[in-house]
Amino acid sequence: MSTQPDTDFLSRAEGISYPNFSFDISYKDPKSRARLGRLETPHGGLDTPNFIFCGTKASIKGLHPQQVKDAGADIILANTYHLMIQPGADIIEKMGGLHKFMNWSGPILTDSGGFQIYSMGEGVNADEIKCRNNKSNRKPSLNKITEEGATFRSYKDGSKLFLSPESAMEIQRKLGADFVVQLDECTAMHVSEQYTEDSMHMSHRWGDRSLKAFDEKHNGKQAVYSVVQGGIFQNLREESAAFSASRPFFGTALGGTFGGNFDQFFEIVSWCVPHIAPDRPVHLLGIGTFRDIFQCVRLGIDTFDCVSPTRVARHGWALMKGAPNERLNLLNAKYKTDQDPLWPELGIAASSQYSKAYIHHLFKAKESLGGQIVAQHNVAVMSLLMTEIRQAIKDETLDQLEKEWIPS
């Protein structure tokens, strides 16, 4: 297979059209880059800024799709890396695609697999990329990355697998999500500038190969996002953002490491945004605290995704407007006899029909219903956050809203 892309149409940003997709910006905040938009897909539309909930293996942990919808979610994502291994893209295609397979009729995004191959391969880098300090004992499963693609081992049975920009597109075509993402190499913070630059250039070439593969089987049902890399280096981030803008991607995703602390994170995002295509939707990969979202909405980010709302639910952490650390820890003994529900106004059973005492009991008794209740609550809280952010952009009250969600 040739690794030299046909650059004829790829060198023009308008080289691929997406007739069944649109992104319309209806309002721009005069004081920041924050904006209101509307994304339309063959599976319906959504207002932006918005949050994409993670259904890694074609399931939002412990929730029926209807419960996810009832909690206000508009769009979800699934992971190419996990699904190519279990159940496999061919099976999902045969079953009519992800929407039908998992019974979610709204928009879906699939990532390219690049992040998981890297983070699961190296074990520690997912935490590093997300500015966490956890140590992981996960065994590296990445074999090698070459110009051709990434060779890695299945997390399931250890078998050898290969993902190229072309096969990542092919797999995502079979999965059938509305939004797909180019394959990239996700670099971590500890690597050198030279490595980061070389890798970024390869990710750009992979971007072109992804576009070409996408275009060859373009059926109007999918739209493809670039990934901006460049690590913690301003010149590389700017170059990568500009490269993305020069290519006919539908949307722009910001990926890779965002540094070692939150200030650096915001700085890196702010380097990218002036150079990306201003009229395309911008997705920030894997970021999801209230604080991150407020700050990045101001930088012009349109969509976010993060596993944390459903992951922390399994630890008994209920996201809460105005709470210290943005959450209540329902395992705390003070909830043992707390008769109050989590948040009745959210309008779902999870947040209104169970006392904190009962949810506390379910966690203490190791009953899975506890995690299910908190997961749906957390989806509802994130959905409300995004709804209120959209209203606040319109009302120019974003600073005030941020103080309500994150009191200092």
Whose CA is closest to 374, among 305, 328, 317, 329?
Answer: 317
Position 138 contacts a copy of itself (CB under 8 A):
no
| Catalytic-role residue among 111, 178, 208, 302 | 111
CB of 330 vs a copy of itself, minimal distance in Å: 13
Q: Is there binding between residue 82 and a copy of itself (CB under 8 A)?
A: yes
Among 368, 391, 397, 400, binds a copy of itself (CB under 8 A): 368
* Binding status of residue 105 toward a copy of itself by CB under 8 A: no
Question: Does residue 69 interact with a copy of itself by CB under 8 A?
Answer: no
Least Å distance, CB 60 to a copy of itself, is: 8
Q: Is 362 in the site for a copy of itself (CB under 8 A)?
A: yes
How many residues bind to a copy of itself according to rule CB under 8 A? 39
SS (H, E, C) the chain: CCCCCCCCCCCCCCCCCCCCCEEEEEEECCCCCCEEEEEEECCEEEEECEEEEECCCCCCCCCCHHHHHHCCCCEEEECHHHHHHCCCHHHHHHCCCHHHHHCCCCCEEECCCHHHHHHHHHCCHHHHHCCCCCCCCCCCCEEEECCCCEEEECCCCCCEEEECHHHHHHHHHHHCCCEEECCCCCCCCCCCHHHHHHHHHHHHHHHHHHHHHHHHCCCCCCEEEEEECCCCCHHHHHHHHHHHHCCCCCEEEECCCCCCCHHHHHHHHHHHHHHCCCCCCEEECCCCCHHHHHHHHHCCCCEEEECHHHHHHCCCEEECCCCHHHEEECCCHHHCCCCCECCHHHCCHHHHCCEHHHHHHHHHCCCCHHHHHHHHHHHHHHHHHHHHHHHHHHHCCHHHHHHHHCCC
- The one catalytic residue in 178, 208, 302, 305 is 305
Tell the smallest beta-carbon distance from residue 310 to a copy of itself (Å). 11
The smaller minimum CB distance to a copy of itself, of residues 284 and 350, is found at 350
* Alpha-carbon dihedral 315, 318, 324, 325, rounded to 10 degrees: 50
The residue (of 93 and 127) whose beta carbon lies closer to a copy of itself is 93
Residue 64 within binding range of a copy of itself, rule CB under 8 A = yes
Confirm if 383 and 42 have CB atoms less than 8 A apart: no
CB 218 within 8 A of CB 173: no
Which two structure tokens, joined as six digits, stand for 379? 């989806």
Contact with a copy of itself (CB under 8 A): which of 29, 70, 364, 406? 364
Give the amino acid at 35: R
Task: Pick from 3, 20, 22, 59 the residue near a copy of itself by CB under 8 A.
Answer: 59
- Confirm or reject binding of residue 38 to a copy of itself (CB under 8 A): no
Taking CB under 8 A as the rule, does residue 93 contact a copy of itself? Answer: no
Residue 223 or 348: the one with the smaller Cβ distance to a copy of itself is: 348
Q: Is 154 in the site for a copy of itself (CB under 8 A)?
A: no
Query: Which lies closer to a copy of itself via its Cβ, residue 56 or residue 229?
Result: 56
Q: Could you tell me which stretch among 168-176, 228-236, 361-369, 393-401 binds a copy of itself (CB under 8 A)?
A: 361-369
Choose which of 15, 45, 87, 123 interacts with a copy of itself (CB under 8 A).
87
Judge whether 305 counts as a catalytic residue: yes
Q: Binding of a copy of itself at residue 365 (CB under 8 A)?
A: yes
Applying the rule CB under 8 A, the residues between 309 and 348 that interact with a copy of itself are 336-337, 339
Nearest distance, CB of residue 350 and a copy of itself, angstroms: 8
Q: Which is nearer to a copy of itself, 279 or 340 (by Cβ)?
A: 340
Which one, 192 or 337, has the nearer CB to a copy of itself? 337
Catalytic residues: 111, 305
The residues of the shown chain that bind a copy of itself, judged by CB under 8 A, are 57-64, 66, 82, 86-87, 91, 94-96, 101-103, 336-337, 339, 349, 353-355, 357-358, 360-362, 364-365, 367-369, 371-373
